[in-house]
Structure 1
Amino acid sequence: MPSSAYRLVAIVAITLAAPVAAQTSPSITGTWKGDVASAKLPTKPDIFAIKDGRYTCASCTPPIAVTADGSAQAVAGHDYWDHLTVRIVDPLTVAYTYARGGKTVSTSTDTVSADGKTLTTSWRSTDNAKGIEQSGTSTETRIGPVPAGAHAVSGSWQRAEIKQVSDSSLYMTFKDAGGALAFSQPSGETYTAKFGGPAAPIVGDPAGTVVKVRRVGARTIEETDLRGGKVVSVYTMTLAPDGKTMTVVTEDRKAGTKTQFVAYRQ
């Protein structure tokens, strides 16, 4: 699944799969929408700082350390971008630009409240198969003080709430394709993977993610995403008995975090 340091998003640009269950179970075929209000966010804190002209992110995977002077800095080890620009806007605001292959793919802005207790992150991205603009806003609560001499955004933060995410990131369509699961999103990403079969590519994913799907129970399926042969995330989807909702638990194996939300049949 597409991800980056600003995205909570992890949280919100979502790749799902769901079961084609026994005859007595409801069908997953149809269109669903993730509900951001239902999200249970990771408990692992975000830890970053801007101090002495440097931006460091200890909680990023892998950690980041670059010059915060408004120029593009090479960053290795991140799946969807290879350069990061960090620009101090004012005493309470910092802007970030993410690029891949010399092209900007997303931007974000961190703004600290006047009392220093809340961090609001707003992001925009065109890094999807159709190149459409997607956006989102989320908040975090301070759990660690600002280091001496650092910018106000610095410190330890606990993710609190997703305020908004573009519908094109939240809608998803599934189809039981005779022993395989077909998936698509409005932003253009698609896959068709056989249950219990080999990994299938996510078409339109710039990081080359492939997917394996398997049934875990009558109403539950597990999706495993891999890049370079390594597991990067696991999704467990459980359809409600009435077929109207689906609970999704997302494990980010690289970051060591877990997110849960509910999707509603449309």
Structure 2
Amino acid sequence: MNKSLSAGLCLLLLCPIGAMAGGPFDGTWKVDMSKVQMPKKPDVLVLKDGMYECKTCVPPVSIKADGQDHPVAGHPYFDAMAVQVVDAHTVKETDKKGGKVVAASTTTVAPDGKTAHVEFSDSSNSSGAPVTGTGELKQVAAGPAGSHALSGSWVTASMGQMSDNATEITFKEDGGMLSMSSPTGQSYQVKMDGTEGPYKGDPGISAVTVKTAGKNSMVETDKRDGKVVAVLTSTVSADGKTMHVLFDDKLRDRTMTFEAVKQ
């Protein structure tokens, strides 16, 4: 499974959930996996004639599918990738950074070629235990003639068995300052007036702003090297028990929604 697809299964949930903290909004929140709506825009892959291409990765990836490590530039979470064709329906991917394995996944396409099952482990933005999980993919367009079954346009149909460290986050507001921390090691502390501050523990995010947008809502903007990579708009329910989150992935031009439940 390519990093673009694993983003849908993992990295999006690792990004902080914007929430108006203070009083009943302080505490730990957990994503309700049954209410995650994944992006509708597909990822496009081509595996043919010994070459693997992720056309919708940012930047795009094109390497030999020979099971060997190949350098990949422009990606903050990894700098090398290996794609191994196990058989006509199964592909393994291993991502490395600085020579260390940071992600591994196995994608198995169903005999009819219309669906696929993914199993992955990802520590590319985790300082602790890796995030693990599974996902089900749906093909929305076939790949070119003569290509591997993995080829085509795919969307994430459902997610399952995500480890808790990928779905939990803690907020604390004190004197107009919002602090965030997660089990995977991400954290920040910023004023809730849109003042920019450092984002720690994530190679893909270097700065963040948080600004209230109504009584129970706020907007979080994540940046990397001055460029906006994601915007999260979150609204806490009137009873303070759930948060509805709209995640706008500016880098890959995709959106998703999910709900988090206060623990």
State TM-score, norm by structure 1. 0.92
User: How many percent identity over aligned positions?
Assistant: 39
Q: Retained in 2: the 8 A contact 1:207–1:227?
A: yes
How many Å apart are 1:193 and its aligned residue? 0.9
How many Å apart are 1:208 and its aligned residue? 4.9
Asked if 1:255 is matched to 2:256, the reply is: no
Q: What's the CA shift string for 1:81-126, capped at 9, x where partnerless? A: 1111111111110011111122111111111012211111211022
Correspondences of 1:36-55 after superposition (within 5 Å): 36-55=33-52
Asked if 1:241 is matched to 2:231, the reply is: no
Q: For residue 12 of structure 1, what is the aligned residue in structure 2?
A: 13
Q: Secondary structure at the match of 2:145?
A: coil
Q: Retained in 2: the 8 A contact 1:17–1:183?
A: no
Q: For residue 117 of structure 2, what is the aligned residue in structure 1?
A: 120
Q: What's the CA shift string for 1:9-60, capped at 9, x where partnerless? A: 2433231231147xxxx63101110112101111111110110110011121
Q: Retained in 2: the 8 A contact 1:121–1:137?
A: yes
Greater CA drift, 96-105 or 4-13: 4-13
Query: What are structure 2's unaligned runs of at least 5 residues?
Result: none
How many Å apart are 1:209 and its aligned residue? 2.1
Asked if 1:64 is matched to 2:65, the reply is: no
Distance 1:253 1:88 in 2: 32
Distance 2:87 2:14 in 1: 29
Q: Secondary structure at the match of 1:205?
A: coil
RMSD: 1.7
Q: Which residue of the other structure, out of 219, 243, 246, is the alignment partner of 1:222?
A: 219
Q: What's the CA shift string for 1:233-265, capped at 9, x where partnerless? A: 000010000000000100000100001000001
How many Å apart are 1:166 and its aligned residue? 0.8
Q: Which residue of the other structure, out of 172, 179, 184, is the alignment partner of 2:181?
A: 184
Q: For residue 31 of structure 1, what is the aligned residue in structure 2?
A: 28
Structure number with the higher helix fraction is 2
Amino acid at match of 1:176: E
How many Å apart are 1:179 and its aligned residue? 0.5
State TM-score, norm by structure 2. 0.93
Greater CA drift, 193-202 or 254-263: 193-202
Runs of 4+ in 1 over 3 A off after TM superposition: none
